[in-house]
Chain A
Amino acid sequence: MKEKLVEFANLLRDNGVRVSLAETLDAFSASEITGLSERDSFRCALRATMVKRASELPVFEELFDIYFSGLGEIIKQASKAVQDALSMSDQEFQKFLDEVEKMLKKEGKNLSELAKQLLKNNSGMMEKRISDAARAVRLKGIERTIEENYFARALARELGLDKIEAEIKELREQLEKMDLGDAMKARMEEYLERRLKALEDIIRRYVRMEREKKDIRQRENQRMNQIAEKSFYYLSEEELKKMQEAVQKLAARLKNVISVRRKHAKKGRFDIKLTLRKNLGCGGVPFNLRFERRKKEKPQVVILCDVSDSVRNASRFMLQFVYSLQDLYSRVRSFIFVSEIGEVTEHFRNNDIKDALDVALKGDIINVYAHSNFGYAFRSFVSDHIGAINKRTTVIVLGDARNNYNLPHDWCLREIRQRAKRVIWLNPESRNTWGFGDSEMDKYQLHCDMVEECRNLNQLYRVVDRLVVH
């Protein structure tokens, strides 16, 4: 059992559930208390000790079903199927099995052990036999669907299925000579046949189950990694959805980090006035020291997001990030531009994320079908919205700086930078292409405090990390 639990813990870890060693130990002592016989209690015990996040519960449930459905469950199901096929009630079946056992005592002297267990419906012994055999053929090494047949055959060979088949055939022939009633004989014959089928079925399903375990181990992990490295330009619809989840997670992480940081900075210098006042009750003896509360510096962010056609996938995604940011900080103002510039702060605040993005990208606020013109956008920003920026503001520009050979007006960006705390430019294009063609990145980057290539999720992660630290 210990091994099984350790393996299950590994499986959970492979699927992104963090299970520590101590938790595995807890799971072990908990499962000792609940016992293994009751599947539900056992499941509860593992759930309470190994899974500590509500978001990880579905993963756990899925894996538990696959992992602990196990051989025992398969064998039980198979024998239930036999019982159903013979259309007997539980009691009848039990009586019938007694009958079988009697017959075996008389006639089955030259039967092999496994065949006996099979016919006697001794699932515990069968489970042990089959799992021994599975170990012998290294069933745990199965990886691909096409290997299923190979392993099923190997397992059958190891169990001696041919021999069992022959033995049961022989037994059926002997049945003729036995002094059983006709009805009983017919039943017995059907039972033997079905049992044999059941064993084959068990083997096949067991092999498939093992393969599924492997599958689940690798599936999710790989997918997420691939997406994280894939450029925003090439994401499919489904991947975009996955990405949204990732962005939300990212935002949540940002929130956690920020809240911790704020609290650390809460206590300030010793406050004499407050201390004296607080300790008047003790005759002015300063028992209870008081400190100034440091003012929280609320981060102010102004975001300028390019939503032109050339960065469509990226900008959808960036806007989502912007939306999440606006959720986090109270003082975020968001602007979008192609050639005109327009503010979307209110839209983002009042709508849920899907509507907000649609509004931004459909062209209700600015004409999104124009040719992008960064210079014009910056100039309009400086003339209309420069008041949004003060010395505590961080300005984030998201865009590829493809200016269609219009005037870059980089002096506007310089102006912005002079007033702001800092200017950060995130460019969804590869660094190699900056400055070529109509890209004005080399001009603009002179006026930024930080310029980052931000083409995929991993890069965005890095940028966020840096944003939080500084």
Chain B
Amino acid sequence: MFASIDDVIQRFERNNYIASRRIATVIYLASSLLKPILVEGPAGVGKTDLAKVLAASLQKDLIRLQCYEGLDEAKALYEWEYAKQLLYTQILKDKVSEVLTGAKGLKEAVDRIAREDEVFFSERFVLPRPLLKAINSDKQCVLLIDEIDKSDAEFEAFLLELLSDFQISVPELGTIKAKHLPLVILTSNNAREMSDALKRRCLHLYIDFPTREQELAIVKLKVPGAADKLSQEVVTVVQSLRKLDLKKTPGISETLDWVKALTLLNVQSLDQELVNETLDTIVKYEGDVRKAQEELKDYVRRVRNRRGGEAAGSSDKDLLN
């Protein structure tokens, strides 16, 4: 476990994740109170990564459950292995008839079978899904329930028992209590609002887009090969794009993609043509691309003017080698 908030920041940084004090505090609280965290925020700010890094920095297993519409208990919790059960009954046919020999009448036969039915509904035939795995795990683990907002309201209600008591009821086996309370992280993109009951049981963490300095630090950490000047320019551009009214605002992952792409092209600094050619790595809709181009035209012109002032006469074509 973590010793302090600073410990969280350091360990996360060792795992290539720059956690603001805000994030670190919530992680620290969650690990000491053993409460689930509900992480919200726009797409691409590192919500899912947070769980991965948490698992890595504590050297624990990560169990991931991806939510989607129509996800039900059978896929999230456990399932009986029907085929295996069927196979066993077929193979054990002789044994079954042995049990039944000498039974008088149907009633006694059924009674005898009923005595044995626990064999078929034991843990042997349970197929554990992520939630049961997390509960049954011998070591403490990190459970990531990703994009909970995509799941149905019923599933959300079902999660409540898990999140407050860390136990699960399986009708045939009884209640299974967690051996070690897992660290749970739920992420949501706010496609719909979660119920108050769920929110009440969680710590809430809202991750917003990072500030310029934070984003620069992240780029430096994740793309060590990028030129300083390039990453600064890219971050400035992306930050200014976020202020526009776009359908899909570029997240950190888009910034990283762009820097990586430009670094791969061996670019040292941005120019108009380059921006137009590679813009689709960060802006994903036709309408957005148009808006972004307008904004960037201005930006590039301003940069050029400034540069022109500094070194009059020097050509602008030092951009692509």
Contact = CB atoms under 8 A, between A and B. Distances in A.
A263 interface: yes
Given A30-B33, A48-B203, A48-B205, A260 B82 contact: no
B21 A40 contact: yes
Given A18-B196, A23-B200, A287 B190 contact: no
Most buried by B among A45, A252, A281: A45
A53 B190 CA distance: 10
Contact of A288 (B29, B40, B41, B82): B82
B206 A54 contact: yes
Interface in B70-108: 82-83, 86
A57 B152 contact: no
Nearest to B152: A263
Nearest to A263: B152
B266 interface: no
A367 interface: no
A276 interface: no
B192 interface: yes
B33 A29 contact: yes
A29 B82 CA distance: 46
A383 interface: no
B82 A52 contact: no
Interface string A240-262: 00000000000010011001100
Interface residues of B, number: 32
Contacts of B316: none
A27 B153 CA distance: 27
A282 B82 contact: yes
Given A30-B29, A30-B33, A44-B21, A259 B192 contact: yes
Interface in A30-85: 30, 33-34, 40-41, 44-45, 47-49, 51-54, 57
B21 A283 contact: no
A179 interface: no
B19 to A, nearest CB: 12
A40 B21 CA distance: 8
A20 B37 CA distance: 17
B86 A282 contact: yes
B230 interface: no
A41 B21 contact: yes
A57 B206 contact: yes
Nearest to A30: B29
B199 interface: yes
Interface residues of A, number: 34
Given A41-B21, A48-B25, A54-B40, A26 B199 contact: no
A22 interface: yes
Contacts of B32: 33
Nearest to B194: A52
Given A33-B32, A49-B203, A256 B196 contact: no
Contacts of B38: 52
A342 B5 CA distance: 62
Interface in A283-310: 283, 285, 287-288
B29 A54 contact: no
Given A259-B192, A260-B153, A263-B152, A20 B200 contact: yes
B28 to A, nearest CB: 8
A45 B192 contact: no
A364 interface: no
A252 B192 CA distance: 9
Contacts of A47: 22, 204
A252 B193 CA distance: 9
26 contacts: A30-B33, A34-B25, A34-B29, A40-B21, A41-B21, A44-B22, A44-B25, A48-B25, A48-B29, A48-B205, A49-B203, A51-B204, A52-B196, A52-B200, A52-B202, A53-B199, A54-B190, A255-B192, A260-B153, A263-B153, A281-B83, A282-B82, A283-B86, A287-B86, A288-B82, A352-B245
Interface of A: 18, 20, 22-23, 26, 29-30, 33-34, 40-41, 44-45, 47-49, 51-54, 57, 252, 255-256, 259-260, 263, 281-283, 285, 287-288, 352
Interface of B: 5, 21-22, 25-26, 28-29, 32-33, 35, 37-38, 40-41, 82-83, 86, 152-154, 190, 192-193, 196, 199-200, 202-206, 245
- Closest CB pairs A-B (n = 9): A44-B25, A52-B199, A48-B203, A287-B82, A52-B204, A48-B26, A54-B206, A30-B29, A41-B25
Given A30-B203, A53-B199, 5 more contacts: A45-B25, A48-B37, A49-B29, A49-B204, A287-B86
